[in-house]
Structure 1
Amino acid sequence: MRQILTILFVLTVYLVTAQTGTIRGTVIEDESGFTVIGANVLVKDTDRGTVTDLDGEFSISIAPGTYSVQISYIGFQTLTIADVEVVAGEVNALGEIRLGDDTQQLQEVVVTGKAIRTTEAALMTIKKKAPAMLDGISSARMQLTGDATAVEAAKRVTGVSIEGGKYVYVRGLGDRYSKTTLNGVDIPGLDPDRNTIQMDIFPTNLIDNLVVSKNFTADMPADFTGGLLNIETKDFPEERILSASVSLGYNPQMNLTNDFLTYDGGDTDFLGFDDGARALPVGADAERIPTPISGNTDREVGDFIRSFNPELGANRETSLLDYSASFSIGNQFDLNNQREGKLGYIFSLSYRNDYTYYDDVFYGEYQRVADPADYELIYANDQFGQLGEQNILIGGLAGLAYKTKLSKYRFTAMRLQNGENRAGKFTIDNNGDAVGQSGYIALSDNLEYNQRSLSNFLLNGTHVLGESGWEIDWRGSMTISSSDDPDIRKTAFTVSPVDTNFVAGAGGNPSRIWRYLDETNTVGRLDITKNYTFRGENAKLKFGGSHTFKERDYEILFYDIQFFGGSTSFDPIPNDVLVDENIFPTGNIYYQSGNNTPNPNEYNSTVNNTAFYVSNEADLLPNLKTIFGVRAENFVQRHTGRDQRFASGDPGGNNLENEAVLDDLDFFPSVNLIYSLQKEQNLRAAYSRTIARPSFKELSFAQIIDPVTNRIFNGSLFSIQDWDGNLVATRIDNIDLRWELFMEGGQIFSISGFYKRFDQPIELVRLPQAATSAEFQPRNVGNGQLFGLEFEVRKKLNFISPALENFSFSGNVTVVESQIDMTNAEFNNRQLFEREGQTIENTRQMAGQAPYVINAGITYGNLEKGIDAGLFYNVKGETLEIVGTGLYPDVFFQPFHSLNFSFNKKLGAEQNTTLDFGINNILNDKVESFYQSFEATPQVFNRVNPGVSVSVGISHNF
């Protein structure tokens, strides 16, 4: 009987819902952009009405028809929206409804319901009134421009540049000084050593807005300098979301080519993870593995060798087109006729498969020569060939929200799974005339697989305590992530005039690496706000705290092939190396472990960061808003690990057991002044102190080799001659100025200036002591500073001619002059290789800081025809990538001129179907980094050619 009653209840609710429609909207103050809580909303000539909730939102269910909706609130003019059409089973979303102060106009204002969709204007109002200097893009603008993912939308934000097609950098500063948060909470990305998350995983129909804070306020985390990008996802969709999309991409260089390099993996590679085909063989992690001299039987040794996958060579096959698909659903509904509140939900699932193939990839290692009269660089090691990559990304996002009039609860869960299969064939040319090099030619096959996963959970509550002016917001988030590289294989045949074989001192013996990384990130945050009146004006006191706990476990296991009784000649066919006749005891091949006990490439690190802050916002003088705040962060990072000397039994080596490698208590003051020159003009000034801290990897004894380039990363804890192993955080003083002019329709013009002073910045330095291999280490270098100017304009072109009504221009330029004062060690090393006619100064450009960033775009938008098109250009200037010393010159990343075109056409009477077309890298530019030295011809450090790609897609809103 209970089941029958339940079914009848559900059917009744469905029939009632189907016979009514819904009117929804959000009421905001026109002057401040803040939402209005408790505004009265009445459907005229009916008994239906409600009041707005803590988000300023309302929802009214009513029979089909055409109505007038009246919104009123004490101190504001009454607004009536006429001709609001209600259709059974559908939502009429009125968008943001702006109430003006009642001193502006006493009589009631009547407008039509179709016209009030001003999300972009609301964002401009928030930008104008915000304590920090903000730039951003709203969901309305994303919908207008047709941007499919967050990374496409972020390209349009002032001062933003995109790295690798997925990571956001602000003001030309690198990843160390940029930060990304999700719904106001720290979240690590799929690359655990980056501050920024992959932005191409977020579909724009789930995003409320993207906002970049250019300067610090006390309620923000202090570990950013260039900018803090926050992604705010929807919790209560304004309208029902039910959409699906598919797209195809084609690059003549990468897709449908029969030269694509790959290798056989597992059956679940298409889902972004390995099924065990690359798993570490049983017993391989033991302290002693079976070898001819380990005391094991011949059969045990042979069986152990055969437990390793025998495939060591890359295969060629035809690559497919790039393709992707996504599905999103979301809605909100009232519970029990609104007496119990509202429930909202949102869900998205996306899948992407991309192919990348470079047929002329080049990695170079170059040196200066001893003769100061010889300017040209000589090569130490050149590696060139072909590289194929297949990248799978699956993303899922689910959210559930419950809201009453004065409280809101939200739960969000996100899961990302990423798998990248890489295979390469290279020729290695080693120059025996270079310092530390033996001289050889080798043919190398490289096989890699990286699988990464991230699971994030957020629980958030917001409470407004009646009319007391108090608001409480609490958030708790946990992220569990992993990044594994199972069975990285490198097989390099050394070529001689007589034969090809394996030579340990040249191309090396065939090797295999397993890498494991697991990390947990837990954040708790509490913010309390008190709204009050100061001298007749609104003021705000805000205080709160947070605690972040992070833990990482990392391990590398290494194995290589050895030859019992000596090596013999081999045909250069990698897949023939591990055939039965070559395996011990029939042959002479066996595997040797390169892992000591304890393992020097294994560590555990933790971070505890406890923060408290207080800030106050008030108008101390007419038209002058002041925001004073201070934040305290107690940051403790502990490390358990050891160096190679200790792991090899030398008691003089270093061994850390849960030792604090970073223990800092810092105070971060901030002052923001906003002077309102006119209603639509602001003059801003700000000072703040922020910080940039080393990562887990940087504060370790880890030695991590890139199996493709053979370049080695060394953790900073290694003390090497002029480096004491004591890496400390970088503290930054920031001064910002901005004049901004806001115009109707989201148009804007602004000029900004900024200055930053860096105390002991961290940069990646080439180790001069490592002559036989290319090794790098993060170090504190001399103090630095930079000066910058930023210009932004967003303007419709109808001022030129009425025929250009639908055209707009947006552009922003950031120009920066940076300077590092070298340490004595760096300055002396550079002077050792000073060229004739050269005068080495003790200052240089800051690593990672682009001297300029340019974003420009011309867009065409016609809402009636459902057409949106744009041509967008982005470039950042020549940037110091790696600091060279002495024998090794600096490496500079070259400007990459990105010119992209997009076209979107909405189809159907309701414009629910959208066709997308895009062309990327129209200029066919290459991604390159060069060694540069005084009067020398630049030489290639890295070079790949991404080619020109074309994409086409279709999406439909059901």
Structure 2
Amino acid sequence: MNKMKPFIIAALFLLFTLTAHAQQKGTIRGTVYDGSTGETLVGVSVVIKDPFTGTATDLDGKFSLDVAPGTYTLQLSFISFQPLNIEDVEVKAGEVTVLNNLNLTESTVELQDVVVTASAIRNTDAALNTLKAKSSVMLDGISAAKIELIGDGTAVEAAKRVTGVTIEDGKYIYVRGLGDRYSKTTLNGMDIPGLDPDRNSLQMDIFPTSIIDNMVVSKNFTADLPADFTGGLMNITTKDFPDKKIFNISVSTAYNPNVHFNPDYLTYDGGGTDFLGFDDGTRALPDNIPPTTQLVPSSANAETIYNFVTKEFTPTLAAKTQNSLLDYSASISFGNQIELTGNKGNVPRLGYIFSLSYKSKYKFDDEVLYADFQKTLGENNYEMIYSTRQSGAVGERHHLIGILGGLAYKNNLNKIQLTAMRLQNGISSAGKFSINNSSAAVGQSGYVATSDQLFYNQRSLTNILIHGTHLMGNDWELDWRISPTFSASDDPDIRKTAFTHNGNEYLFSAGAAGFPSRIWRELDETNISAKIDLSKEYPLFSQPAIVKFGAGYNFKTRDYKITKMGYQFSDLNLTFNEPDASLVLQPERIYGSDQGGNTYIIPEISPSNTYESNVNNMAFYISNEFYPLIRLKTILGLRMENYVMRHTGQDINGSRILDNDKVLESLDFFPSLNLIYEVTEHQNIRAGYARTVARPSFKELSFAQIIDPISNTIFNGGLYAVEDWDGKLKETYMNNYDLRWEIFWNKGQNISASVFYKQFDDPIELVRFSTSYTSTEYQPRNVGEGTLYGVELEFSKNLDFISQVFQNFNLSGNLTLTHSEIDMTHSEYLSRKEFEKDGENIKRTRDMAGQSPYVINAGFTYNNYETGWAAGLFYNVKGSTLTIVGGGVFPDMYTEPFHSLNFSLNKKMGKEKRTKIDFKISNILDETQESYFKSYKAQKQPYSIYHPGREFSIGLSHSF
């Protein structure tokens, strides 16, 4: 042991010496772009002459130099480009200086150096502008830097800032006012499944912004993109390879006067892991459910029934009041890149990043309203009459956890990335409602009731991405990606207990408010996506051209189950002195108890509500980007997709049973043509045509009949033949035409104007059953042909043109105006004519469901890099939108505009501005989320009203 001491001491001394030497140096890193194309440049020479040291950019256009502390001038040179000198690059010991947005311009006859100062290279929005200007498609987006400035916490909040984007239900992204069917979301360029069986698009509120690098929306189609979108495709890119060492922590809290410290907040006792976003089994469906024959009340079954009800189910059926606390959130992220052993100028590097975020949020409204209205009979009776009103209070508690981990290896010509992400979200909801049903409405019995509703939803998404990029000889580039995603959305133990009022007594009545019930819904989905892209640069017509071709494969499978437990009573005359749901499952009231109870539970499993579906989608494409004329870039492409959906399930009567049968099969070709006339280096005129598709979801192409216990509505799958519908739901095909003028300036400034036109063949819309009077039922159906046209305007302008006093102020905005028409089917037209009012002229066309007539986004920002102060005022609204198509006695339902006005203020503090404090006010106007029924000459009547309230939040973050 003594002989080892000198070696240990020597080793420690050597390690200390190397560490001290390394700490004496700093690092310069940057990214170099082709100023004319926006592409990163590989192999650019980056040199410091005194003392001489140099390197070259890798396949991402990035470089890294280790030098002693000091101030340097960098020289960037590349064949056929003007040299670029960057002066005053300050390097500190043990720190990284990052120089982004280094643009090289093509050389002229006289090769003169371009000189810039490092202090001017700090506007990261310029990189996004370059991407937009040089992209083959019409792009809009938001960068990580802008997200940081605004202080948005989730992807759905940040997406509001993107041109033409609106948010539905606080979760879903719509582009150009089109519904979620025509908008698509991808993660790192790959398909990911949605977590809501009621929607086609992904719920964006589960993505914390701390893991996002940028969000970009493609407004038109090219052959390398999936064909199933027409409004827009939003791609979320997560962080992978940090330019410098990061170690950030942040905490925040929020206060809403209507929500927090409210003693009337509604909740109920859940599980011990609710704070982690999932149930611990408290709400789980019982593992061993006795046969129905053993649950029928009899002396032989008494013990079985009593044990089943008291031991397998929590007795909690009533919402309770509890004081609500503040919202809070926290996040931590760290990452770096490590240089490995390699040749000088081609040093391999290993990057890593890890992020963990947590968020807890309350929601509460004591004036929630859900209602259903009908048209009145008679040509001269214009006003609508309600069939049911539900009013009361709802409390929600949200918990969200996001975890991201990634490794990336690269050298000058190769890069391999592995990223894993887990998102977990839990929502616990409790509500108390007063229900008023009108016997004057068609098909209604008329009653008054009181209801307690307890709801829990847990959503999870696990995504893995393996991604490789390789530069090969003769200007070939290979890009491949494999990305499995596993998602689940479960609603364990939804409990609804509604007492029907009968004078001074309260009872359960099947013909009125119904019996108490418990529902378990389970959705599991697996999505495996893979794609490979191969591109080559080559000369054509004496101009640079790129040919690109590739293939993609997507396999998706979903398993969906619904189980319902219905309460029964051996004494049909059972009454209560008060409508207290906590009394229902007291032990003495259970059948088989010593006190002679009469409550028991019978499982109600409907085969139509259980289904399995899968999709196989194979795609191939070829695309060519070239210049047939000087300044006229042309992107010509063709994509082929072979799409097959299979379904296992049966209708409610068991008359139609499918066992992995094909319910949709298509082999389609999707051509695209995009023309870009480059008026100047920073000004384009774009024109495009593409054919795309919108396909029905698993749920829509099923027999499922799904009840929403909150709004008391019923969804019916499109395979269910009812009324004049044949049960044959098919895809929608679109022809898309786009024209855009755009110009870009420095400091991220730009202005653009677009027009677009779209034709829809057999669009799918959610249609209400016109013959179902006793219940509120909807179904997705193909309706008549449709058209849509619109204009889109965007600008972002620095106010320094007024005076240098305003150089830190920026004004931005975008406006989308659209008009849509659907040619109604003959049956819909006749059902509307049947209830036509005096003076009304029913036409054969109407608005397209889900289409907003206008979308407005505006922002006014202040950003002072020197003082560290930044502020912004942001506004967002979309016009009144047809949400559910009526017919017959049922009017159309529209979602009203929500004028969202938000303010943010942040201050970076300290010598190196590593500490930042944020302050935000959300919903400054205290707007209400409202949906209404509308009918000719009638006063609009509410479908749903929710008051989110005004919120104040403050956050603190620090970068070590």
**Structure 1-normalised TM-score?**
0.96
Query: Which residue is 1:771 aligned to?
Result: 773
Among candidates 316, 328, 340, match of residue 333 of structure 2: 328
Determine if the alignment matches structure 1 residue 394 to structure 2 residue 401: yes
Among candidates 344, 360, 364, match of residue 357 of structure 1: 364
Q: Give me the whole-angstrom Cα distance separating, in 2, the residues matched to 1:654 and 1:227.
A: 37
Give the Å deviation of 1:256: 0.8
Determine if the alignment matches structure 1 residue 670 to structure 2 residue 675: no
Q: Structure 1 residues 256, 491: CA separation in 2 closer, same or farther (over 3 Å shift)? A: same
Q: Give me the whole-angstrom Cα distance separating, in 2, the residues matched to 1:460 and 1:331.
A: 19
Query: Which residue is 2:563 aligned to?
Result: 557
Among candidates 605, 615, 626, match of residue 595 of structure 1: 605
CA contact 1:283–1:289 (8 Å) conserved in 2? no
Query: Which residue is 1:873 aligned to?
Result: 875
Determine if the alignment matches structure 1 residue 302 to structure 2 residue 302: no
Query: Which residue is 1:291 aligned to?
Result: 295
Superposed counterparts of 1:64-463, under 5 Å: 64-103=69-108, 106-191=111-196, 193-204=198-209, 206-284=211-289, 287-288=291-292, 290-293=294-297, 296-306=300-310, 307-336=312-341, 341-463=348-470
Query: Which residue is 1:40 aligned to?
Result: 45
Q: Which amino acid aligns with 2:638?
A: V
Q: Which amino acid aligns with 1:376?
A: E
Q: Structure 1 residues 606, 86: CA separation in 2 closer, same or farther (over 3 Å shift)? A: same
CA contact 1:172–1:852 (8 Å) conserved in 2? yes
Q: Structure 1 residues 298, 166: CA separation in 2 closer, same or farther (over 3 Å shift)? A: closer
Encode CA deviations 1:64-115: one digit per residue, 9 max, x unaligned. 2333222111111222223322222111111222112221751333433333
Query: Which residue is 2:61 aligned to?
Result: 56
Q: Structure 1 residues 448, 208: CA separation in 2 closer, same or farther (over 3 Å shift)? A: closer
Q: Structure 1 residues 75, 577: CA separation in 2 closer, same or farther (over 3 Å shift)? A: same
Q: Give me the whole-angstrom Cα distance separating, in 2, the residues matched to 1:722 and 1:9.
A: 85
Q: Which secondary structure does the structure 2 equivalent of 1:48 belong to?
A: strand
Query: Which residue is 1:491 aligned to?
Result: 497
Q: Give me the whole-angstrom Cα distance separating, in 1, the residues matched to 2:75 and 2:527.
A: 47
Query: Which residue is 1:610 aligned to?
Result: 618
Q: Give me the whole-angstrom Cα distance separating, in 1, the residues matched to 2:565 and 2:16.
A: 65
Query: Which residue is 2:634 aligned to?
Result: 626
Q: Give me the whole-angstrom Cα distance separating, in 2, the residues matched to 1:720 and 1:741.
A: 53
Q: Structure 1 residues 223, 614: CA separation in 2 closer, same or farther (over 3 Å shift)? A: same
Query: Which residue is 2:529 aligned to?
Result: 523
Give the Å deviation of 1:9: 8.8
Q: Which amino acid aligns with 2:812?
A: S
Report the count of equivalent residues: 948
Q: Which amino acid aligns with 1:623?
A: R
Q: Structure 1 residues 298, 154: CA separation in 2 closer, same or farther (over 3 Å shift)? A: closer
Encode CA deviations 1:519-545: one digit per residue, 9 max, x unaligned. 100001000001111122211000001
Query: Which residue is 2:717 aligned to?
Result: 715
Deviates more, 1:735-744 or 1:73-82: 73-82
Among candidates 536, 539, 544, match of residue 533 of structure 1: 539
Give the Å deviation of 1:130: 1.2
Give the Å deviation of 1:936: 0.8
Q: Structure 1 residues 141, 302: CA separation in 2 closer, same or farther (over 3 Å shift)? A: closer
Q: Give me the whole-angstrom Cα distance separating, in 1, the residues matched to 2:102 and 2:848.
A: 47
Q: Which amino acid aligns with 1:546?
A: G
Q: Structure 1 residues 11, 690: CA separation in 2 closer, same or farther (over 3 Å shift)? A: farther
Q: Which amino acid aligns with 1:814?
A: T
Q: Give me the whole-angstrom Cα distance separating, in 2, the residues matched to 1:202 and 1:368.
A: 42
CA contact 1:877–1:895 (8 Å) conserved in 2? yes
CA contact 1:613–1:631 (8 Å) conserved in 2? yes
RMSD: 1.9
Q: Which amino acid aligns with 1:478?
A: P
CA contact 2:496–2:709 (8 Å) conserved in 1? yes
Identity of aligned residues (%): 56
CA contact 2:923–2:950 (8 Å) conserved in 1? yes
Query: Which residue is 2:589 aligned to?
Result: 582
Query: Which residue is 2:892 aligned to?
Result: 890
Query: Which residue is 1:650 aligned to?
Result: none
Among candidates 465, 469, 475, match of residue 469 of structure 1: 475
Determine if the alignment matches structure 1 residue 935 to structure 2 residue 937: yes
Q: Give me the whole-angstrom Cα distance separating, in 1, the residues matched to 2:15 and 2:770.
A: 74
Q: Which secondary structure does the structure 1 equivalent of 2:136 belong to?
A: coil
Q: Which amino acid aligns with 1:591?
A: I
Q: Structure 1 residues 13, 764: CA separation in 2 closer, same or farther (over 3 Å shift)? A: farther
Q: Give me the whole-angstrom Cα distance separating, in 1, the residues matched to 2:15 and 2:413.
A: 28
Q: Structure 1 residues 709, 10: CA separation in 2 closer, same or farther (over 3 Å shift)? A: farther
Superposed counterparts of 1:800-839, under 5 Å: 800-839=802-841
Q: Which amino acid aligns with 2:651?
A: D
Query: Which residue is 1:649 aligned to?
Result: none
Determine if the alignment matches structure 1 residue 741 to structure 2 residue 746: no
Q: Which amino acid aligns with 1:600?
A: S
Q: Give me the whole-angstrom Cα distance separating, in 2, the residues matched to 1:643 and 1:460.
A: 42
Q: Give me the whole-angstrom Cα distance separating, in 1, the residues matched to 2:675 and 2:13.
A: 61
CA contact 2:206–2:425 (8 Å) conserved in 1? no
Q: Structure 1 residues 695, 13: CA separation in 2 closer, same or farther (over 3 Å shift)? A: farther
Q: Which amino acid aligns with 1:371?
A: G
CA contact 1:900–1:918 (8 Å) conserved in 2? yes
Q: Give me the whole-angstrom Cα distance separating, in 2, the residues matched to 1:454 and 1:8.
A: 48
Encode CA deviations 1:199-244: one digit per residue, 9 max, x unaligned. 4444545433221110000000111111111112232211221111
Q: Which amino acid aligns with 2:188?
A: N
Which ranges in structure 2 are unaligned for 5 or more consecutive residues?
Answer: none
Among candidates 20, 29, 34, match of residue 25 of structure 2: 20
Query: Which residue is 1:643 aligned to?
Result: 651
Q: Which amino acid aligns with 1:129?
A: K
Give the Å deviation of 1:192: 5.2
Q: Give me the whole-angstrom Cα distance separating, in 1, the residues matched to 2:13 and 2:705.
A: 66
Q: Give me the whole-angstrom Cα distance separating, in 2, the residues matched to 1:104 and 1:60.
A: 31
Q: Structure 1 residues 938, 710: CA separation in 2 closer, same or farther (over 3 Å shift)? A: same
Q: Which secondary structure does the structure 2 equivalent of 1:826 belong to?
A: helix
Deviates more, 1:93-102 or 1:391-400: 93-102
CA contact 2:123–2:748 (8 Å) conserved in 1? no
Give the Å deviation of 1:299: 1.2
Encode CA deviations 1:565-603: one digit per residue, 9 max, x unaligned. 42411132111111122111221111112125xx22111
Q: Give me the whole-angstrom Cα distance separating, in 2, the residues matched to 1:8 and 1:826.
A: 86
Query: Which residue is 2:752 aligned to?
Result: 750
Q: Structure 1 residues 158, 558: CA separation in 2 closer, same or farther (over 3 Å shift)? A: same
Q: Which secondary structure does the structure 1 equivalent of 2:304 belong to?
A: helix
Give the Å deviation of 1:245: 0.9
Q: Structure 1 residues 6, 232: CA separation in 2 closer, same or farther (over 3 Å shift)? A: farther
CA contact 1:289–1:593 (8 Å) conserved in 2? no
Which ranges in structure 1 are unaligned for 5 or more consecutive residues?
Answer: 647-652
CA contact 1:288–1:294 (8 Å) conserved in 2? no
Q: Which amino acid aligns with 2:634?
A: T
Q: Structure 1 residues 200, 867: CA separation in 2 closer, same or farther (over 3 Å shift)? A: farther
Q: Which amino acid aligns with 2:629?
A: L
Superposed counterparts of 1:903-942, under 5 Å: 903-942=905-944
Q: Give me the whole-angstrom Cα distance separating, in 1, the residues matched to 2:604 and 2:410.
A: 58
Encode CA deviations 1:26-73: one digit per residue, 9 max, x unaligned. 111122111111111122133422111101111112232333222111
Q: Which amino acid aligns with 1:372?
A: E
**Structure 2-normalised TM-score?**
0.96
Q: Give me the whole-angstrom Cα distance separating, in 1, the residues matched to 2:381 and 2:520.
A: 43
